[in-house]
Chains A and B, each alone.
Chain A
Amino acid sequence: MTDPKYFTTNKKREIFELKAELNNEKKEKRKEAGKKVIAAMTVGKDVSSLFPDVVNCMQTDNLELKKLVYHYLMNYDCEDPDPLIRALTVRTMGCIRVDKITEYLCEPLCKCLKDEDPYVWKTAAVCVAKLHDINAQMVEDQGFLDSLRDFIADSNPMVVANAIVALSEISESHQNSNLLDLNSQNINKLLTALNECTEWGQIFILDYDREAQSICEQVTPRLSHANSEVVLSFLELLPKDSDYYNMLLKKLAPPLVTLLSGEPEVQYITLRNINLIVQIRPETLKQEIKAFFVKCNDPIYVKLEKLDIMIRLASQVLAELKEYATEGDVDFVCKAVRAIGQCAIKVEQSAECCTKVNYVVQEAIVVIRDIFRKYPNKYESIIATLCGNLDSLDEPDARAATIWIVGECAERIDNADELLESFLEGFHDESTQVQLTLLTAIVKLFLKKPSETQELVPLTTRYSDNSDLRDRSYIYRCLLSTDPVTAKEIVLSEKPLISEETDLIEPTLLDELICHIGSLASVYHKPPNAFVEGSHGIHRKHLPIHHGSTDAGDSPVGTTTAMNLEQPQVKPSQGDLLGDLLNLDLSSPVNAPQVSSMQMGAVDLQGGGLESLLVGQSFIPSSVPATFAPSPGPAVVSSGPNDLFEFSTGIGMAPGGYVAPKAVWLPAVKAKGLEISGTFTHLQALQHMTDFAIQFNKNSFGVIPSTPLAIHTPLMPNQSIDVSLPLNTVGPVMKMEPLNNLQGAVKNNLDVFYFSWLIPLNVLFVEDGKMEHQVFLATSKDIPNENELQFQVKECHFNADTVSSKFQNNNVYTIAKRNVEGQDMLYQSLKLTNGIWILAELRIQPGNPNYTLSLKCRAPEVSQYIYQVYNSVLKN
């Protein structure tokens, strides 16, 4: 098109000819004509009369011609006298997101940025952001960013707002995220615009300014102009952790409450945000509790949220909650009754009133159990009523709760044995949860009133196919037959106090969410990266864990792998086992049982140098009740104490500075997930440590802490604490290398420390990993052969049955066993928490200590980790 010959033709009939050529049937001709038109336009001739003919040519698959047409359009429309059309052109062209077109966009955009009309400017400003998305380099080269910066000073508020929008959009993907220097001059300009622009513009500006907290004071009056989203945008901007913040929050309370009389959707957004605010500053909204009372026609999502907040503000709401217990929606009623229970736990004087509520008996009983745990020996008068209700219960939760109560208060219930007996009749039809509780209750009863219970004790559990149940009854039998006194001590021991607050958001997450107030993150109560795609729009404001991954990489990977290899069979941790035996949920944020500190670690750390990782130190925690050791060898007890691994993460070891805390991480199987406890051994730090919090990076299996790290007391120098942290696998998923790598960070008042370790895969094996015989065969056929991997397990001396039972305990199930030519073949299946099935074939030749393991799986990358598990299980 730059061909010079097109510029030389200069005849009077030209337009006429061009018209004919543009309508020519031949593509080539049309293209030629297009070039001529553009050339004519370029030299300044008026070819606007050709408009319809040129537009006609747009229907082509010839890219070159198409471009010419676009060029023509932009040129003419961008010079249209009507600013609306000029703006329309630049807006529409920005939407044609084809890389090749952008070069044609540049020139008209330049023109528009220098247009005389504010409407065109404000459209062009957004267009710069669009262009940046397609071709960032071009925006830089053309100096469009400077034009945007110039717009900040414009007198038209909308131009300013759109320029701000464009800048913040660009800064998200720009290497220099601070595109606009927020000096006092710029801030003043923004504030001026803020006073005049539309509600949307106000949000754009407030959202952009969130870092510039100095402007707060000047913006406060804005609350009186504002719409809901402006109020929430404003919240985001408040300086954190200061008296001023508190004062402002107080000022904010009324507008927030006003939002609650708005449309239900905005109510919901507001409530979700208030939910966060009351967790850090409950006093802000204490006075406003009536605003959260549920209205009959509120949508269910608003009702549930309101209830949640009321619990947090609690105390004067009991009567109100009682009303809700008669509502229609089942979820809502259950939650209401639970709420009553939570109130009772929180506010002592209300407990009495609570225990009288028996609207929804099933849920209520579960709640009453919690009340009993909080205030033992106080409200036993309710027991009689309870016992009267036994027959009507059909929910396992409620039945288990009742049984627990009966067992717990056995000495005060005259006919406790009869009651329990009545449950025993249908013992085999009960759910496991009820069976376990019943077992414990009977033992309690026996210990309290031995004379009456003799006939109940020979339990029928021996034939149960549930291993938990068998194991537990076995332990009890051993305990009772060897040393009833100790048994009493263990079974009837003091229970840890139940905690007050439930469903609290983990502090680090809360901090992060507070920074995101008003945004979607605050609605989902999830960090933005949990639902926002990759790089887009992630502003991590706290605990930058993804940087941590590189830091954590410092810890030698080789050693951590070694740790994994030495990983022995994992059994419930001691605290867990105890809790399980007593039907207590120790994993809730109560004070975790204090395991003695591990001075060993300190010695090792000094001896082995800071970098060395000490692996595979297995020993028995000294706090395991001594009674367990002598009990005559049930497998579950002897392997109960866990092997502990320790490694220092090697972070923060600045020469001459303080020594970083050393973490000891202990993986253990829980009912559904994995449990890791950590120890901090503090060597030379001069300060005490407080405010601990833990966070995990996204990982392959979605492992995240299900409760915050429960370290409530400051950690003094040379002191160590054992904490167990319940985990679950519902977190965000990202594939890691190696697959079982888990990166985490621990924060305290001093700093953030990063570390990573490997999850032994066996903790992720789920209980229902047993495949049907037929399914196994079909699946095995279904998986392509290239997915099959073979491994050698060396130096093993077991027979097939031992192996099979060994694996059974680890949720690896033997589907079939065959004997082929003297070799034993074991076919096994297992399932991971994320639903991946693994099929295994283990070949055992008599006399040969090396077993051959073939693994088949749809995701062959997991196979080698499975092999590691096999290796460690067989070696143990």
Chain B
Amino acid sequence: MIGGLFIYNHKGEVLISRVYRDDIGSQAADSAVFSSSGPFLGERLGGVVRRNAVDAFRVNVIHARQQVRSPVTNIARTSFFHVKRSNIWLAAVTKQNVNAAMVFEFLYKMCDVMAAYFGKISEENIKNNFVLIYELLDEILDFGYPQNSETGALKTFITQQGIKSQTKEEQSQITSQVTGQIGWRREGIKYRRNELFLDVLESVNLLMSPQGQVLSAHVSGRVVMKSYLSGMPECKFGMNDKIVIEKQGKGTADETSKSGKQSIAIDDCTFHQCVRLSKFDSERSISFIPPDGEFELMRYRTTKDIILPFRVIPLVREVGRTKLEVKVVIKSNFKPSLLAQKIEVRIPTPLNTSGVQVICMKGKAKYKASENAIVWKIKRMAGMKESQISAEIELLPTNDKKKWARPPISMNFEVPFAPSGLKVRYLKVFEPKLNYSDHDVIKWVRYIGRSGIYETRC
């Protein structure tokens, strides 16, 4: 399991050091002569070990001359897992053959928890909150085993004010929440107005060849629900899942053809704890008792029949050795009545760019030397439109023989529909014990499609 956790600043100075196991310290006991062979063993540790484990990571990873070639590094039989957040390094250390994905998943979680407590993970914030961080580390890792790391639960008893005196009832409520005994919903919730919000949030990813061929595309989506419902409501969620539609189609063939509903093929999905998996497995129906407030009902991924909201058509021409002409056309590909927002096109420029002239029909375009790119921003754009930018890039002559790698043109945007084609068909609420019915619940559904990594090679 995790033997220790260190946090470094960009210089490699240790900000947080928490050791859970002594073995981080123990030395290899073989004779000195035979230990030096093999690149894998790396340099030996000796002396005061904790300190040395800490140093080993700084020397071999943070200060390494070469770019990091793996997020897992083995130095002197000690494995270091690291993630980087802005210029802060988090490193988990172990001497055992641990579940590698779990360690990273834990580091991400640790970042989330810290961010939830004090915002951005920066050197200053960490220094200001180091007592809190130690307290958190004490709670979420015991003997190197991750314990409950849900921010909500943690915040009930790890506060920066110290624990207030609580009644016995409150205490047991905290402990059972922390240990996951209550689950996700308590009894006796009451709302005057029963209301629920469904957000379908998707991020669409694309890699396209210069000729407009889709090399790979996928949508990863989430259904986020905010529920303000009284009692213990039983919910049933329905969407245009291909398997469900086809199943029903067998019974009433005319209905599906009549409605002409498109269905989508979901490659993979995962659900919130509250969803009854056995039912999903047998009937593919999604039924659950929702937690109160906001939660993520499901995550999914699709790769087929994706609606690509934008098409990027690049044209790059090299005019002699000191000039490039770039023309990029973007076309919006959705219903004219819908509006895309926050559109940004990023056109990379060579490192030896000396000057850029840009002309664009819509929005604003700027050459950002520090980012080596032309950034073109358009606030709004309706469907089935197109717009164009042309730029002349002047280059300094170089004797660098290596050709410019021509990184792809990337795009950011937000559209008010789900690029996967997912549609919420229904969300039914049953609460037999209380006197409200499905019709009394006010339901809101919203679709937001955002760009993930949306790139076109040029």
Contact = CB atoms under 8 A, between A and B. Distances in A.
Interface of A: 81-84, 91, 94, 97, 117-120, 122-123, 126-127, 129-130, 155-159, 162, 165, 169, 195-201, 203-204, 207, 220-229, 231-233, 254-255, 257-259, 261, 263-266, 268-270, 290-291, 293, 295-297, 299-301, 304, 319-320, 323, 326-328, 516, 518-524, 526, 528, 530-534, 536-539, 700-702, 729-735, 833-836, 858-859
B278 interface: yes
B312 to A, nearest CB: 14
Contact of B163 (A84, A129, A201, A326): A84
Interface residues of B, number: 96
A162 B145 contact: yes
Interface centre among A232, A700, A733 (most CB of B within 10 A): A733
Given A200-B146, A263-B104, A156 B215 contact: no
A684 B163 CA distance: 78
A836 to B, nearest CB: 7
B34 A84 contact: no
Interface string B85-99: 000000000111111
B68 A301 contact: yes
A328 B405 contact: yes
Given A83-B175, A119-B178, A196 B143 contact: no
Given A255-B268, A295-B455, A733-B38, 16 more contacts: A81-B168, A82-B166, A84-B171, A91-B142, A97-B22, A119-B174, A157-B181, A162-B142, A200-B106, A200-B145, A326-B403, A519-B98, A520-B100, A526-B40, A536-B96, A732-B40
30 contacts: A82-B171, A84-B157, A84-B163, A84-B174, A91-B142, A117-B172, A117-B175, A118-B175, A129-B143, A162-B147, A201-B180, A203-B102, A220-B281, A229-B102, A232-B99, A258-B267, A261-B218, A264-B71, A266-B108, A268-B70, A293-B207, A301-B69, A320-B215, A328-B405, A520-B94, A520-B97, A523-B100, A536-B23, A735-B31, A834-B33
Contact of B280 (A120, A224, A228, A834): A224
B385 interface: no
A255 B269 CA distance: 8
Interface in B166-184: 166, 168, 171-172, 174-176, 178-181, 183
B451 interface: no
B67 A300 contact: yes
Closest 9 CB pairs of A and B: A254-B268, A119-B175, A229-B101, A229-B102, A834-B37, A290-B216, A528-B97, A200-B146, A221-B277
Given A84-B163, A269-B101, A532 B277 contact: no
A198 B148 contact: yes
Interface centre among A265, A293, A735 (most CB of B within 10 A): A265
Given A81-B168, A320-B215, A326-B405, A158 B267 contact: no
B33 A836 contact: yes
A288 B311 CA distance: 24
Interface in B33-79: 33-41, 67-72, 74, 77, 79
A520 B81 CA distance: 10
Interface in B385-407: 402-403, 405-407
A269 B100 contact: yes
Given A269-B104, A533-B95, A82 B163 contact: yes
Contact of B145 (A204, A524, A701, A732): A204
Nearest to A530: B40
Interface centre among A120, A122, A157, A730 (most CB of B within 10 A): A122
Contacts of A323: 457
Nearest to B158: A84
A834 B97 CA distance: 27
A505 to B, nearest CB: 16
Given A84-B157, A228-B101, A733 B405 contact: no
A313 to B, nearest CB: 14
B38 A732 contact: yes
A200 B149 contact: yes
Contacts of B166: 82
Given A84-B175, A196-B183, A731 B101 contact: no
B262 interface: no
Nearest to B210: A323
Nearest to A833: B37
B377 to A, nearest CB: 20
Given A117-B172, A257-B267, A266 B101 contact: yes
Interface centre among A199, A300, A539 (most CB of B within 10 A): A199
A835 B36 CA distance: 8
B157 to A, nearest CB: 6
For the residues of A in contact with B, the DSSP-based class is: helix
Interface string B312-341: 000000000000000000000000000000
B408 interface: yes
Contacts of B29: 534
Nearest to A222: B277
Contact of A156 (B35, B142, B172, B179): B179
B273 interface: yes
A301 B71 contact: yes
A621 B1 CA distance: 54
Contact of A200 (B30, B38, B147, B408): B147
B101 to A, nearest CB: 4
B145 A165 contact: yes
A530 B79 CA distance: 12
A519 B97 contact: yes
A297 B348 CA distance: 13
B316 to A, nearest CB: 13
A222 B176 CA distance: 23
Interface centre among B36, B102, B269, B457 (most CB of A within 10 A): B102
Contacts of A533: 23, 26, 28, 77, 95
B40 A730 contact: yes
A532 B98 CA distance: 10
A34 B29 CA distance: 42
Contacts of A207: 99
Contacts of A127: 143
A150 to B, nearest CB: 16
Contacts of B405: 326-328
Contacts of A836: 33
Interface in B144-163: 145-150, 157, 163
B144 to A, nearest CB: 9
A846 to B, nearest CB: 38
Contact of B74 (A261, A519, A524): A524
B457 to A, nearest CB: 7
B176 to A, nearest CB: 6
Contact of A228 (B105, B268, B403): B105
B125 interface: no
Contacts of A257: 267-268, 301
A834 B41 CA distance: 13
B31 to A, nearest CB: 6
Contacts of B97: 516, 519-521, 528, 531-532, 537-539
Contact of B408 (A118, A259, A296): A296
Interface in B98-138: 98-102, 104-108, 138
Contacts of A162: 142, 145, 147
A118 B181 contact: yes
A731 B69 contact: no
Given A83-B171, A118-B176, A228-B105, A730 B268 contact: no
A531 B79 contact: yes
A577 B307 CA distance: 62
B453 interface: yes
Contacts of B301: 254, 257-258, 261
A728 to B, nearest CB: 10
A421 to B, nearest CB: 28
A699 to B, nearest CB: 10
B5 to A, nearest CB: 14
A203 B106 CA distance: 12
Given A290-B215, A296-B407, A532-B95, A730 B38 contact: yes
